[in-house]
Amino acid sequence: MIVEVKTPNKNYEILIDELPEIRLDTKVAIITNPKVSGLHINKLTSKLKAKEVYIVTLPDGEEYKNFESINFGLERLFDAKFDRNSALIAFGGGVIGDMTGFMASIFLRGIKFIQIPTTLLSMVDSSVGGKTGINNKYGKNLIGAFYQPEAVYIDPSFLETLDKREFAAGMAEVIKMAVMFDAVFFENIKDNKLTIPQIIRNSVELKADVVNQDEKEKGIRSVLNYGHTFGHVIENMTNYKTYLHGEAVAIGMVMANRLAVKLGTLTETEEKEIRDVLKENNLPTTFKIKDEEEFYEHFFADKKTLNNSIKFIIPNGIGNYKIVQDVDKEILLEVLREFKD
């Protein structure tokens, strides 16, 4: 199956199928991590036809999504005398995809790259739409660029080696999109009616439709940040070592839902229904906040904060959304106190 992404900067295709033969008449660097390389590098190299192929292995995990890793990767490209006709292939999960895209965007002011995601999260979300970036001590993905790939190849067979925790983390992003945009999709997830390829296809179609409307996140694309405003604080406060991204997003969705209940856009029944689906998909739904004021202050480091005004994406029922700003601080503190130690 092919899904098309059409942005003002670039049109490209997302192929959901067995990995095809990839022909590139140039030098290519596969950017990957030790785990993915150990499991799948032979499959990729057997399909890849290029003038020269290099493998650059970066450490895995959000805590390594930083300038040090980027610089290591860039130096390998300079060592191999890559030029503006060369290309990169992101071969891994969301961390590898984000770093590879960022490297591609800044190496010699921009070279081509391809996304080959190997985790559910990266297949349904982070490989689609051209968001690239790294973390720093102030927060997640605060440094980066919108930079679209040449193509995305999604081969569901890579998921056969994915552990249960990583798979669950991907389901958080699937549930996020269903709650925001598609009540029928949410019901089908709840009732276990979909195969994994169907889940991937539905999610990619939703994500691509949003990106086609709003590449640079000026409007509807910000809705994809449901759960992320709270979730990014959780990741930052735990130094990116306690939770996978999707796990933090799941907790963030629960917090956003509690805010939605207080603001009257979600019923208690709907809130419980979403929480139950998250639990059924082996995702965490609780987090112990030690100091709600400290948690609140972390909101202001988020890249979505403008003029000291925090933007929250909340459900407006299941299958629809509402963007709210200037939420009263006391209401937010009430939500955070529900998660206190």
**Catalytic one of 65, 140, 221, 275:** 221
Which segments of the chain does DSSP mark as H helices, in order?
A: 34-47, 67-79, 94-106, 120-121, 164-181, 183-190, 196-213, 228-237, 245-263, 268-280, 292-298, 329-337
Q: Is 131 a catalytic residue?
A: yes
Q: Is 33 a catalytic residue?
A: no
Q: Is 109 a catalytic residue?
A: yes
At 137, is the secondary structure helix, strand, or coil?
coil
Q: Is 217 a catalytic residue?
A: yes
**Catalytic one of 135, 141, 202, 225:** 225
Helix, strand and coil percent figures for the chain, each rounded to 5: 50, 20, 30
At 194, is the secondary structure helix, strand, or coil?
coil
Tokens of 295: 């948690």
Q: Is 207 a catalytic residue?
A: yes
**Catalytic one of 131, 201, 258, 275:** 131
**Catalytic one of 217, 247, 271, 273:** 217
**Catalytic one of 232, 247, 273, 275:** 232
**248-263 as b/e, with b when 16 or more CB fall inside 10 Å?**
bbbbbbbbbbbbbbbb
Closest CA relative to residue 27, chosen from 84, 90, 103 = 84
Rounded CA-CA distance 275/281 in Å is 10
Residue 143 pairs in a beta bridge with 134
**10-47 as b/e, with b when 16 or more CB fall inside 10 Å?**
eebebebeebeebebeebbbbbbbeebbeebeeebeeb
**Catalytic one of 65, 76, 228, 258:** 228
Give the largest CA-CA distance in the chain: 61
**160-198 as b/e, with b when 16 or more CB fall inside 10 Å?**
eebeeebbbbbbbbbbbbbbbbbeebbebbbeeeeeeee
Q: Is 112 a catalytic residue?
A: no
Rg (CA), the chain: 20
Q: Is 221 a catalytic residue?
A: yes
Tokens of 190: 């709840």
**Catalytic one of 207, 235, 236, 273:** 207
What's the DSSP call for residue 105? H
Q: Is 173 a catalytic residue?
A: yes
**Catalytic one of 140, 245, 258, 275:** 245
CA end-to-end span of the chain:
47
User: Which residues are catalytic, by number?
Assistant: 109, 131, 173, 207, 217, 221, 225, 228, 232, 245
